[in-house]
Structures are given as structure tokens and as C-alpha cells.
Structure 1
Amino acid sequence: MLERAPKVALAFTLISLSISSAQADVVPLELYVYCVEGHRTHVEFLSEHDILAMPQYSVATSTPWKSKSEYNGIRLADVVSKTCPKGSSVTITAYDDYEIKDIDVSGILRDQPILAYSMDGQRLLLRNFGPLFLVYDRDGGEGSRIKTSQYSAKEIRQIKSLSIR
């Protein structure tokens, strides 16, 4: 009986670790938007409900990391106009604190990238670019321009917040 105790403890530990790592992969679909106007900053919180209530878009395209897939989400331009309409540049921050800085709003309006929360009908998790992934239509009409490294560098994944100035 005493010989089984270490094996049971080891099994329990392994099960606990697998449950914790699975839960760590799931983060809520939400977005914090910091609108910086002069010396004032106000914070908008978009819950899952808020995000799903916005106009929804689909784009079938490739990314630097994946062949063609169908992405569903909301337009980044819609988030900017809803939360900080006077903004001229956007900084996007990921859960690992990686940032894409100073994306020009005029380019966002022209290219209409989406903040995707699903890929091929599956909700995005941390391990597969989620909860939000900035996706440009690389295979559409302006695809050849958008396939450049300038745009690939902007396709940030695991997005947690935006700062709009």
C-alpha cells in the first residue's frame, strides 16, 4: 500500500498540471481600449458581449503563419470609431507585452483589418493566436501590397489591449 502512494501522488500532480495548462490557454474574449486625448486617458472595456454585438466580418486569407483559413471578427476601424474616434494612431499590445506601435488610422480605414476571434469556425485560444488576432486580407484585391513584410509585422496575435492616440 505504501508503494502506491507515490504513484497516486504523481498521477494527481500530472492531472493537476494538465488541467492548469489547459485553463491557462483560455483567456476571455475581451479588449481594453485606452483612448489618449491630450493629457487625458479614458479606458473603454469591450466584453465578449460587446464584441459579439458589433458588426461581424469574415475574411478567407492566408497569414505569415498559416495557409488560407476563414477568420471571423470585428473591424479594427469599428473599434477605433466606437472608442476613440479622434485617434490617429493605434498601438496594439499582446498578452506577452509584445507591441505593434503607431499603426496609422488612415491605413486601418483603407485596409480594413479585422480583430479575429475565430478561425475556421473555432474560437481562438492563446495557443492558436487568440483571443484576438489582427488579420489583414492578404489574398484579396490589394493582397499583393498587403503580403509585404511591412504588413506581416503588423499581424499581431494574442491581443489584450489597444492604445489609441
Structure 2
Amino acid sequence: MKRAKGILWLALALFGAGSVSGGELPVPSQDVVLVISGNIGQTNSGEDAQFDMAMLRDMRQVSFETTTLWTDGVMRFTGVPLADILERVGVTSGTVRAQALNDYIVHIPVASVEPDAPVVAYEMDGQPMSRRDKGPLWIVYPYDSSDRFRTETIYTRSIWQLDRMEITE
């Protein structure tokens, strides 16, 4: 038992407590594309968590093909599950108040977020999304995979040009 405690203390001393529990959120080295504020447990810029595109691309990626109400034909979306982003900043409950570049706002209850849906997509058909093409970030659901993703509520949560999220209670 003493040896196990010694190893734990050595690990904490070498890597810091944050590294053992998932690590501190790094500071963006490129242009910030997403800012998360509010009731979060992990920050990297004052009271906010900021992400650049490289940080998002370093997280677990999910890809799926689906049609949308706003595009023509089947599109392949790639991005980070919203659940993973919320977990990374220490969110377990509340509501995501997602805001677009044009100040459009949607509310997504954290309890409704599934492990792989929605996705904060940064690619459409293998290409980064420009602002003109609803990017750089778009909250997208795999609409064609289930009837539960083809509801007015889900469609209204599908915010493009996402740049901010505030976690409220």
C-alpha cells in the first residue's frame, strides 16, 4: 500500500494533479474559433475556455453522412461531439446557450446531448467550412439516422457559424 501511494505521489509531482485527471486545457496558439463561458470547470483564458481549430481537431472526431434542410443532397460532416467538448470543460448539467457570429442564439439542454450527437462540425464533405458555407463551426445532428433527430426542436438547435457557448443553469 505504501508503494502504491508513493507511485501516486510521484506521478502527481512529475505531471501535476491536472495531468492525471485529464490535463489542463491548453492555450490556443492560433485564432480562437470557439469561446465557452459560464458554469464551466476548466478554463484557459480568465473565466473562459477558448479553442482554436487545432485544439478541436486534436479531440475525438466523429463523421457521418446526412441530408440537411439547408444543403443540397447528402453531405459528410466531421467534427467533435458536443458531449466531448462539454466534458473537456467540466460541464455535466445545465443548458448550452450557443451563439452564432450573427448573434443568433439557441438553447440545448446538456441532458439532451448524446455521446455522438450533436457534433460541432468543422468539415463538410472533407473541406473546412468557411463563413460563407455555414462555418467555421456548425452544430449538426445525424438527421437521417433516426426520427428523433428530425424534429423542429432539433432543427432549431442546428446553429451554424457557431462561435460562442455559455453554460447556464
TM-score normalised per structure 2? 0.72
RMSD, aligned CA: 1.8
Within the alignment, does 1:125 sit opposite 2:155 as a pair? no
Runs of 5+ consecutive residues of structure 2 not aligned to the other structure: 1-30, 41-45
Q: How does the TM-score come out when normalised to structure 1?
A: 0.74
Counterparts of residues 49-64 of structure 1 (less than 5 Å): 49-64=54-69
Rounded to whole Å, the distance in 1 between the matches of 2:142 and 2:123 is 15
Paired residues for 1:10-159 under 5 Å? 30-36=33-39, 42-66=47-71, 67-101=73-107, 103-109=108-114, 112-140=117-145, 143-159=146-162
Ranges in structure 1 where 5+ consecutive residues have no aligned partner: 1-27
Instruction: Work out the CA distance in 1 between the residues paired with 2:74 and 2:106.
Output: 23
Moved over 3 A (4+): none
Q: Percent identity?
A: 28
Q: Which has the higher contact order (CA 8 A, sep 6+)?
A: 1
What number of residue pairs does the alignment pair up?
132
Cα shift at 1:111? 6.4
**Larger of the two Rg values belongs to structure:** 1
**Cα gap change, 1:86/1:106 in structure 2, threshold over 3 Å: closer, same or farther?**
closer
Superimposed CA distance per residue, residues 67-93 of structure 1 (whole angstroms, 9 cap, x where no aligned partner)? 310000001111111113233210100
